[in-house]
Structure 1
Amino acid sequence: MGNLKHYIKALSSGESYYTLKVKLTYICNFLAAFHLLLTVAFFLTEIYPMMIYCAFSVFFFAVYIRGCIRKEQFGFSVLVSIFEVLFCSFAATFCVGIEAGFSVYNFALIVACFYLSFVIEKFRSKESIPFFLSLFSALLYVIGYIIDNVNGPMYALPNEHWVHAFHVANYVVSFAVMIIFNFLFVWEIKSNQNILETQNDKLTEMAHIDPLTHLMNRRSMNTHLQQSMDALRSSGKRFSLVLCDIDDFKKVNDTYGHDAGDLVLVNVADIISQNMRSGDVVCRWGGEEILILIHAPLETATNAAERIRQMIAEKVTYYEGQAIQVTMTFGIAESIPGYKIEHLVQQADDKLYIGKKNGKNIVVF
C-alpha cells in the first residue's frame, strides 16, 4: 500500500514519466477493450449492425492502430482513432437513440483532443487542430440530436432497462475519460516543469561551476566576496583570502602532457575543498590558481593553508604509470575595512609573488 501511495504521488507530481508511445498504447488497449464490451452489449440487444462494426473496431485498434503506434506514427494514429470514436458515437446514437447516452463521448473527445494535441509534437504548433476537431465533435452531437428528435432511433432496445444501463454506463465511462485526460494534462505540465527545472539547474551549475575541478568559478566567487565585504562593513566580521598557485605547473604539462596536468589540478582542488570548513568557499580563480575565502582571521587562514600545503606536497598523482608530485605556494591577505575586494585580492597576489620568489612551496602572510 505504501508503494502504491508513493507511486500515485510521483505520478501526480510529474516525477514519474511515461513515453508517448507507452501512453498511446494504453489508450489503444482501452479502446480495443471498450469496443469488445460494446460488441457483446450489441449482440445481447440484437443490434447487429453495431455489433459487427464494434467487432471490426476491436481488431482495428488491437492490430492496425497498435502497429502504427509501434512504428511511431503517433499523429496519424490519434487522428484516425478520434474519427473512429466520433463515428461510433454517431452511429450508435443513430441506431439506438440519444437516450442511450452514446453522444456524450463527443464531449469527452473534446478534452482528449486538446490533451493529445499538447503531447504530440507535430500538433503543438497547430492550435487549429484541436479547435476544429472539437467543433466537428459538437456538430456531430447536434446532428445526432436533431435526427433522433425527428426520426427517432433506427432500432429499439429490448426494454427500458437496457436504455438506462447504456445511459449510465456511457456517462460513467465518459466522465472517467474526461477525469483521466485532465489528470494526464496536469501530469504532463508538471513533468515538463520538472524537466525545465532540471535543465535550469544544469545551466546554473554550468554558469557557476568550473567543469574540470567542480569548484566555483570566478563569477560565483565574486558574489561571495561581495557578500563577505558587506558583512565586514555591517558587522565587522573579518575574513581572509588565500590565493594559491601550483608550482612549476607548466613543467608538468610539458613533461607529462595536458591530461596529466588536468589530473594534478583536479587532485589539488579535491584536497583543498575537502579540508575547508563549512561556509568557506573555494574557486578556480584562473589557470592553476585557486582562491580560498575563509571566514576567519589571518591566523586561522594561515594554519589552514599550511596544513593544505603539506598535504599537497605529500600527494602523489599517478598518470599512465608515472608518479607526479607537485607543490603549491600560498599568499594570504586579511580583510581590511575600507579596502575594496580588488585591493585584497591584489594583496594576496603580492604575497603569492613573494613566495614564488623565495623558493616556492611556502605560505606567505
Structure 2
Amino acid sequence: MDFDISTAQKKRYDEIFAAARDLGHASVGGHFTREEWRAVACVGLTGLCLPAEHGGTGLGALDTALCIEAFGRGCSETGLVFAVSAHLLACAVPIRDFAADEVRGQLLTGLSSGELVAANAMTEDGAGSDVGLLTATAVRDGDMYILDGEKSFASNGPMADVFVTYAVTDPAGGFLGVTAFAVPRTADGLKVGDPFEKMGLGSCPASRVRFQSCRVPASHRLGEEGQGSAIFQHSMGWERACLFAGYVGLMERQLQQCVEHARSRRQFGRPIGEFQAISHRIATMRQRLEASRLLLYRACWLLDRGRDHVEAASLAKVAVSEAAVANSLDAVQIFGGSGYLTPTGVEQQLRDSVPSTIFSGTNEIQREIIARAVGL
C-alpha cells in the first residue's frame, strides 16, 4: 500500500492548481461564459478521462480526481468546477463507453476541446431518487426515435449542445426497459427552459428540458435498448468517485483560509487561533478533510482496477459531501460576522456545499447502498 502520488501526478496537480486560480472570475454573479469554458478546456479539464485520439488526456479515475481536486482548490467558483465535472463524468463518460463509433468520435472531440457543452437530463419531477418512475418515453420509428417527456433538473442545460438523457422504451421492462441517448440541441422537438434561480453553484446554469415528439437518430442511442439503467449507474460510479474531488479541493482551500484568519485575527490581546475553541474546530476540519479524501482516493483506485467500487463510491460521496457542509459551517463560525458577508467568499462555500448531499444520488440513497453492501 502506497499513499504517495507520483512525480508526474504532482506536476499535473500543481499546473492545474496554478491555472485554476485564474479561472472562474468571469462568472462571478452569473453563469459561466463560452470564453470561460474554452479557457477551462485549454487547461485540459473538459477532456481529462477522454481518449487521447479524440483530444482528451486519457486519464484513469484517480488521476482525473486529482485534477478535479486541484481545480476545486484553485478556482473559487465551485459552480464552474461542478459544471465541468458533470459535463465530463455524467455525460462524456457514457458517450465514451457506449456511443456508436459513427458519433462517438465526433462528440468526444467536441466535448474534449470545449466546443461542445454537455448536460445530463435524467431527473424528473416524480423520479428523483426513484429512477424506476421515469415517465419520459422513446419509441422507435425507422432509423429515428421519438422522445416525449420532461426532465426537471439538467445542470448545464441552458448552455448545453448535447444532452445525455434516459427514456423508457419498454414500459413492462422495469430496470431493463430504459434506454440512453445523446440528443443534439438541434434536434427537432427539444425545448430548453430558463435557468433556475439556485441557492448555490450559481455559475453552473440548470434548467428543465422538454422533449415534444423529439426526433433523435438511432445512431445517437447509447448502448443497446434496455441498457439505459446500467449506463446511468456506470456514469454515476465515475461521478461519485471523481466529481466530489472538487469539494476536497474546496475544503483544502477553505482550511488554509481559516488557518490564515485564525493567525491574523486578534481578540483579547492574542490571535484567535490560540483559543482551543478555534484551534480544535480547525483540527476537526482537517480530520474531516483527510478522512474523506482517503475514501475518495480508494473509490477511484478500485474503479481503475475494475474492482467492485459501488459501496466505496457511496462511502466517499457521503463522507466528502457531509464534510464539506460541516467544514463550511465551521468556517463561517471561525470568520464570525465577516464570514456571513459575501466579500470573504466563506458564505458562498457553504451555499455551494449544501447541494452536494443531494445530487449524484442523495446521501439517504447512498446509505441504503452501503446498508445493502454490509448485508442488510
Structure 1-normalised TM-score?
Answer: 0.28
Higher strand share: 2
**Larger RCO, structure (CA 8 Å, separation 6 or more):** 2
Higher helix share: 1
